[in-house]
Amino acid sequence: MARIAESATIALDLGGRVVAVTVRRSALAKRTAIRIDPLRGVVLVLPPRASRADAERFLLAHRAWVAERLARLPASQSLEPGQSVDILGEPHLIRHCPAARRGVWIETAELCVSGLAEQVPRRVTAFLRNQAKAIIARHVGELSARLGRRAGRLTIRDTRSRWGSCSSRGDLSFSWRLVMAPEWVLAYVVAHELAHLVEMNHSPAFWNVVASLTPDAARARGWLKRHGAGLHLIG
């Protein structure tokens, strides 16, 4: 039986469009499954004893499903002048202001950027990261005070697998991309991570702590499930 390496690829023809499928073998997988990742594309997860022939047959049988799911993925978006980017859920048109010497600033529903045109995406990203840190820090301060717990160090990153995390020492990490979501979604993620200062698990007691900090937990999780992938394709 032909085995597949731990990380390999299979070319899948979708009727003229060839897609490279990443194949991963998992010791925990009980059956073959396909995942569509906005950043990594098509990922095929195999149980330990599946062969390459098994993988190819499964992909061919699900070719139409893969094509349909890929077509539904949101398109990537640059942070160039003329594009729009959300700040706390509100759209802002990126406007290049080369003659100004103000860095990046918000003016009504526009995000104005001075300097060279080629520097606009980098400057917009830096601005959004700084905004994210300031807004998240404010929510951390307010909610940790309500909990009566002291949060540790706050770090802003460009994480792909999770929106936030809390270490056993209480150090917090969040994705800067949360600043593009509505503020009640951002606030939920902060509440979720701060709840780990009380319960380092996802038990009913943990969710009770989350509920005490925000009324929007279920709605925010639904929003992230529907729109979170799109945030990762911006910039």
Q: Is residue 1 part of a domain?
A: no
Q: Are residues 36 and 107 in the same domain?
A: no
Region 204-223 average pLDDT: 96
Which two three-digit tokens encode residue 52?
Answer: 């390459």
- Here the CATH number for the domain that contains residue 153 is 3.30.2010.10
In total, how many domains does the chain have?
Answer: 2
Q: Is residue 16 part of a domain?
A: yes
In which band, very low, low, confident or very high, does the pLDDT at 7 lie, cut at 50, 70 and 90?
A: low
The domain in which residue 107 lies consists of: 84-231
Q: Are residues 149 and 63 in the same domain?
A: no
Q: Is residue 131 part of a domain?
A: yes
Centroid of chain to Cα 216: 19
Q: Is residue 26 part of a domain?
A: yes
Q: Are residues 180 and 106 in the same domain?
A: yes
pTM: 0.78
State the CB neighbour count (10 A cutoff) for residue 23: 23
CB under 8 Å, gap of 24 or more: what pairs does 168-174 form? 168/200, 170/197, 172/140, 174/132, 174/136
**In the 8-state DSSP scheme, what is residue 183?**
H
Which stretches of 148-234 are DSSP H helices? 183-195, 204-213, 217-231
Q: Are residues 66 and 89 in the same domain?
A: no
Residue 143's SS3 state is helix
Q: Are residues 133 and 192 in the same domain?
A: yes
Q: Is residue 79 part of a domain?
A: no
In which band, very low, low, confident or very high, does the pLDDT at 6 lie, cut at 50, 70 and 90?
A: low
Which two three-digit tokens encode residue 133?
Answer: 């840190």
Q: Are residues 111 and 13 in the same domain?
A: no
Region 13-31 average pLDDT: 89
CA–CA separation, 95 and 46 (whole Å): 47
Q: Are residues 115 and 155 in the same domain?
A: yes
Q: Which pLDDT score is estimated for 56?
A: 92
Residue at 211: amino acid letter: A
Q: Is residue 2 part of a domain?
A: no
Q: Is residue 77 part of a domain?
A: no
Region 13-29 average pLDDT: 89
CA–CA separation, 141 and 154 (whole Å): 11
Is the per-residue pLDDT at 4 higher than 70?
A: no
In which band, very low, low, confident or very high, does the pLDDT at 2 lie, cut at 50, 70 and 90?
A: low
Q: Are residues 61 and 120 in the same domain?
A: no
Q: Are residues 68 and 88 in the same domain?
A: no
Region 82-90 average pLDDT: 97
Q: Are residues 212 and 123 in the same domain?
A: yes
Q: Are residues 63 and 117 in the same domain?
A: no
> 69: phi > 0 → left, psi -120 to 50 → alpha, else beta; which?
alpha
Q: Which pLDDT score is estimated for 40?
A: 76
